[in-house]
Every structure is written in structure tokens, then in C-alpha cells.
Structure 1
Amino acid sequence: MNELLQNILVFLAISASMVYLVRKFIWKPKKKSASGSCGTDDCGCH
């Protein structure tokens, strides 16, 4: 029983680390539109 629990915990740790790496380095979220952020024009927001 102890070996089964260890295998489950290792699988969960590896899965969580793979999800983190994929989200950080491979999957790039779409950029938000520049309407709400300060751009290069002189809008007076800085």
C-alpha cells in the first residue's frame, strides 16, 4: 500500500511540474488589446 501511495504522489508531482512548464514556456496566452494599457502615444497616463 505504501508503494502505491508513493507512485501516486510521484505521478501527481511530475504532472503538476509538466503543466507548469507547458504553461510557462510553450503555451502563450493571447495578448490583450492596447486600448486599456498605456502605449507609445502621449496619453498622459504616466
Structure 2
Amino acid sequence: MPHSRHSFISKHLYFFYHITKLSLLEKEKAEMIIFHLHLFTVILI
């Protein structure tokens, strides 16, 4: 179901958002996480 898949992706986005917030002192690593997250999302869609 599209709605379930959307909720699944949203939970992962929320999870990665918190990882990024916790990694502010390691900004380059956080940016790489965001980059790979976007790449992963594009592949899913």
C-alpha cells in the first residue's frame, strides 16, 4: 500500500534527521549521510 510505504520512508527520514542533528560536530559526515539518504530515496522511487 502506498500509504504504508510513505510512512516507512517518513520514519527513515525522521531517523536520519536525528542522526544528522547528533552529528553536527562532524558536519562533513552528516552531509555524506544526507547525500546517501537522497540517493537511496531516488533509487526507491
Q: TM-score, normalised by structure 2?
A: 0.50
Q: Which runs of 5+ in 2 are unaligned?
A: 26-45
Q: TM-score, normalised by structure 1?
A: 0.49
The structure richer in helix per residue is 2
Identity percentage of aligned residues: 0
Q: Which runs of 5+ in 1 are unaligned?
A: 29-46
Per chain length, whose mean CA-contact separation is higher, i.e. which structure has more relative contact order (CA < 8 Å, sep 6+)? Answer: 2
Q: 1:1-46, aligned counterparts within 5 Å?
A: 3-24=1-22, 26-28=23-25
**Which consecutive segments of 4 or more residues in structure 1 shift more than 4 A?**
none
Greater Rg over alpha carbons, structure: 1
